[in-house]
């Protein structure tokens, strides 16, 4: 009998003692045991900090992103290994796809976020704040990786997705992780961690794994560590109040199971596409992962006149759900993760049945295909009906973490929202409606008690990812019962693992610290012209001071003819009364175009192309007779990887375009983005 391993301190080790038995959810067969007894968590945390943390902090965001991308491709190539074992958790192929490829998708999504960060190990947050009249004293914010470790305590329902969606974020930030999956499905997490470690894509110490109960895993955390927990609200609250968490002010992200809702709009009557979408979506949420999702629909909220229609239509779809071994053709719903979960869901259903009626399903009388119902962890879909949701309120307090949901009526949209609020905070609610005004009213009034809201109609249904699918670029979490936490969320999620510090000083000093040129900082005249230099040769602050140009009325009129922009302020001096202009003013886009004519060095060279403009501002009117010049400064450099062997080695260079007049005052300020060839093409 195999004992599941822990990967700590650079080695695979088995915990002490006999360990906890792990069973196949379909057959009931013993898979092995797991134990974390005897592990030294203080050493494990210190190893993560001194080994993995040091290595990750030396890498730039671009390097970390490429690391995640490489890992994602590697895991995708060997995904078959994970599917084979995932079936033992009770998962169908669709369930496994969500867990495995959905988790790998998180790596890809977070890897792509490198483009939103500088080519540095740390992040420069926002824009500079002017703090003095003459501009010699400014403020800014930098965000550096926390010098701690991320400890992720995950639930049993997503042994792969639960790990990957969390570590993708902390690894991008430059923080190592210790993962403690649920002991009941840790065998699947362990398989993936073995493949990750064997790939050697991550630096040693960046990822450690603790199987088993993990008692004591947060006993040594400090203020620089981050602890995340996914699971029951009750367990989450206990961990959140751990003395070490409180005393050290350790960031703690709680994502708890919640009583999520799906609302049928009053317009979505039988015969409409939206009614059919609603029935399909709710049935999917009851049966996918056997309802063992923290986002699953627990409360089905429908107009009171449509309760019977929904009950009948949903019952018909649920009747077609074949339960059994996912390896058998036609099976659409597998087992719960463990027999323990069967007992817990049964207990919750029995409690709910005291205040509401079961209208579909039976906990005992159901058929299982290809497996022994008594040995596996099987459970039938259960559909309740509660005609008095404001009186019979157990449904807003008790969650059966399985294929269980309740239909309840509402009189109007406000009442539907009040029913949702009785759940005291949800990860997600949905509304299915073709009426955009209804959707707006629902979202604005229900948002405060929901982490996410899906608005579903026939226009988006084909590409909608559905009620139960959190997306890596959107925040996942919810208020109140849902834990009050926030994870994923694209760039926002990465920032949770960085510490923000305000910095103050002269623009030249802040330029050096941030490696981004700050307006007013020292400039070094470029020789030769910056367009003659390769990516590696350019220095932050290098500047081309251009020749000057006097703007004429003829320039303005020629540009108006060429562009078609004959706005009155440029063309009709008799229309300027009551405006800020004293005479006909040059087009802002003419100033921008002329600036390019001044700063561009035309012959072919290392600059490949200009592909965009950021933060363009016209700060002062330019009238005929005024003379302008440009200070063209290297602002920031970002390395870029080659797509393939044939690709040109290049990087992104941002240039600050400062157009000024004869008084030395800025009239236009912008950032242009260029691709610049590297000197070294290897």
Q: What is the pLDDT at residue 613?
A: 93
Q: Is 665 a catalytic residue?
A: no
Residue 59's pLDDT is 96
What percentage of the chain exceeds 70 in pLDDT?
99
Q: Nearest-CA neighbor of 593 among 633, 563, 623?
A: 563
- 294 is a catalytic site residue: yes
Domains of the chain: 2-255+492-498 (3.40.605.10), 260-469 (3.40.309.10), 523-677 (3.10.129.10)
Question: Confidence band (pLDDT; 50, 70, 90) for 611?
Answer: confident
Q: Where are the beta strands (DSSP E) in 38-197?
A: 123-130, 138-145, 150-153, 177-180
pLDDT of residue 4: 66
Read out DSSP for 19-41?
A: -EEEE-TTT--EEEEE--TT--H
Per-residue pLDDT at 15 exceeds 90: no
H or E element, residue 653: strand 650-660
Q: Which of 165, 183, 190, 255 is catalytic?
A: 255
What digits encode the pLDDT tens for the residues 307-318?
999 999 999 999
pTM of the model: 0.88
C-alpha distance from residue 610 to each of 596, 652, 671, 674 (Å) = 11, 10, 11, 4
How confident is the model over 354-383, as pLDDT tens digits?
999 999 999 999 999 999 988 999 999 999
Q: Could you give the angle at which helices 588-599 and 553-563 cross, rounded to 10 degrees?
A: 100
Q: pLDDT value at position 644? A: 83
Residue 127 corresponds to which tokens in the numbers above?
A: 């824009």
Q: Which residue has 């997490």 as its token pair? A: 189
**pLDDT above 70 (res 643):** yes
Peptide bond into 528 cis (omega under 30): yes
d(CA 199, CA 193): 10
pLDDT, position 2: 63
Q: How confident is the model at residue 1 (pLDDT cuts 50, 70, 90)?
A: very low
The pLDDT tens digits for 77-112 are 999 999 989 999 999 999 999 999 999 999 999 999
Q: What is the mean pLDDT of residues 222-238?
A: 90
pLDDT band with cut points at 50, 70 and 90 for residue 641: confident
Contact 366, 382 (CB under 8 A): no
**pLDDT score of 232:** 82
Res 534 pLDDT > 70: yes
Quote the mean pLDDT of the chain: 93
Q: Which of 381, 415, 373, 356 lies closest to 296, judged by CA?
A: 381
Annotated catalytic residue within 294, 399, 542, 636: 294
Taking residues 628-636, what's their average pLDDT?
Answer: 96
Angle between helices 79-86 and 61-77 (to 10 degrees): 60
Q: How many CA atoms lie within 13 A of 227 on its CB side?
A: 25
| Cα–Cα distance, 638 to 515 (Å, whole number) | 11
- 111 versus 645: the higher-pLDDT residue is 111
Which pLDDT does position 255 carry in this prediction?
A: 87
Stretch 487-501: mean pLDDT: 93
Quick one: pLDDT band at residue 3, thresholds 50, 70, 90? low
* 537-583 residue pLDDT tens: 999 999 999 999 999 999 999 999 999 999 999 999 889 888 999 99
Q: Which pairs with CB-CB distance under 8 Å and at least 24 residues apart come from 613-618?
A: 613/670, 613/671, 613/672, 613/673, 614/654, 614/670, 614/671, 614/672, 614/673, 615/669, 615/670, 615/671, 616/592, 616/668, 616/669, 616/670, 616/671, 617/668, 617/669, 617/670, 618/588, 618/591, 618/667, 618/668
The mean per-residue pLDDT over the stretch 211-233 comes to 91
Examine the pLDDT at 620 and tell me if it is beyond 50: yes
Q: What is the pLDDT of residue 260?
A: 94
Could you tell me the two tokens for 15?
């915990």
């Amino acid at each position: 009998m195999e004992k599941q391993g822990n990967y700590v301190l650079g080695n695979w080790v088995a915990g002490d003692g006999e360990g906890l038995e792990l069973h196949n959810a379909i057959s009931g067969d013993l898979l092995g045991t797991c134990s974390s007894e005897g592990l030294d968590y203080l050493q494990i945390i210190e190893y993560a900090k001194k080994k993995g943390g040091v290595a990750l902090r030396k890498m730039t965001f671009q390097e970390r992103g490429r690391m995640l991308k490489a890992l994602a491709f590697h895991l995708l190539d060997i995904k078959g290994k994970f599917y084979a074992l995932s079936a033992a958790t009770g998962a169908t192929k669709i369930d496994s796809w969500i867990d495995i490829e959905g988790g790998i998708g998180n790596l890809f999504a977070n890897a792509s976020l490198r483009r939103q960060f500088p080519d540095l190990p740390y992040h420069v947050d926002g824009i500079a704040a002017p703090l003095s009249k003459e501009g010699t004293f400014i403020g800014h914010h930098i965000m550096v990786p926390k010098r701690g470790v991320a400890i992720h305590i995950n639930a049993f329902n997503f042994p792969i997705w639960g790990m990957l969606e969390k570590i993708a974020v902390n690894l991008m930030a430059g923080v190592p992780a210790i993962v403690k999956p649920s002991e009941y499905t840790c065998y699947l997490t362990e398989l993936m961690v073995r493949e990750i470690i064997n790939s050697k894509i991550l630096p040693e110490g960046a990822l450690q794994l603790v199987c088993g109960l993990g008692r004591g895993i947060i006993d040594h955390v400090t203020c620089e560590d981050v602890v995340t927990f996914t699971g029951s609200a009750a367990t989450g609250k206990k961990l959140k109040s751990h003395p070490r968490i409180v005393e050290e002010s350790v960031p703690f992200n709680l994502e708890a199971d919640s009583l999520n809702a799906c609302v049928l709009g009053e317009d979505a009557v039988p015969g409409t596409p939206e009614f059919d979408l609603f029935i399909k979506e709710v049935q999917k949420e009851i049966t996918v992962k056997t309802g063992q999702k923290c986002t699953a629909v627990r409360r089905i909220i429908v107009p009171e006149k449509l309760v019977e229609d929904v009950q009948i239509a949903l019952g018909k779809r649920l009747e077609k759900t074949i339960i059994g071994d996912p390896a058998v053709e036609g099976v659409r719903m597998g087992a719960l993760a463990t027999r323990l979960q069967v007992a817990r869901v049964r207990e919750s259903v029995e409690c709910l049945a005291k205040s509401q009626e079961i209208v579909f399903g039976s906990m005992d009388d159901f058929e299982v295909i290809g497996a022994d119902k008594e040995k596996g962890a099987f459970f039938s879909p259960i559909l309740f009906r509660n005609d008095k949701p404001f009186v019979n309120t157990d449904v807003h307090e008790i969650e059966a973490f399985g294929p269980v949901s309740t239909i309840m009526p509402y009189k109007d949209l406000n009442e539907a929202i009040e029913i949702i609020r009785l759940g005291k905070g949800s990860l997600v609610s949905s509304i299915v409606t073709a009426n955009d005004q209804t959707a707006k009213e629902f979202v604005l009034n229900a948002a405060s008690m929901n982490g996410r809201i899906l608005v579903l109609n026939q226009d988006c249904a084909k590409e909608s990812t559905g009620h139960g699918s959190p997306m890596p670029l959107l925040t996942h979490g919810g208020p109140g019962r849902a834990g009050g936490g926030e994870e994923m969320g694209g760039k926002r999620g990465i920032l949770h693992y960085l510490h923000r510090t305000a910095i103050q000083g002269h623009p030249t000093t802040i330029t050096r610290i941030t490696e981004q040129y700050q307006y007013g900082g020292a400039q070094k005249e470029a020789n030769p012209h910056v367009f003659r230099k390769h990516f590696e040769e350019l220095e932050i602050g290098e500047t081309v001071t251009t020749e000057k140009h006097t703007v004429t009325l003829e320039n303005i009129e020629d540009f108006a003819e060429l562009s078609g922009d004959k706005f009155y302020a440029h063309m009709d001096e008799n229309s300027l009364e009551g405006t800020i202009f004293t005479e006909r003013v040059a087009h802002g886009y003419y100033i921008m175009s002329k600036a390019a004519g001044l700063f561009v060095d035309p012959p072919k060279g290392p600059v490949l192309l200009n592909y965009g403009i950021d933060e363009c501002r016209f700060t002062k009117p330019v009238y005929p007779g005024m003379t302008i010049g440009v200070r063209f400064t290297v602002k920031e450099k970002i390395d870029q990887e080659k797509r393939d062997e044939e690709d040109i080695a290049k990087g992104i260079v941002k240039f600050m375009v400062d157009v000024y007049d004869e008084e030395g005052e800025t009239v236009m300020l912008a950032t242009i983005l260029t691709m610049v060839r590297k000197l070294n093409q290897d």
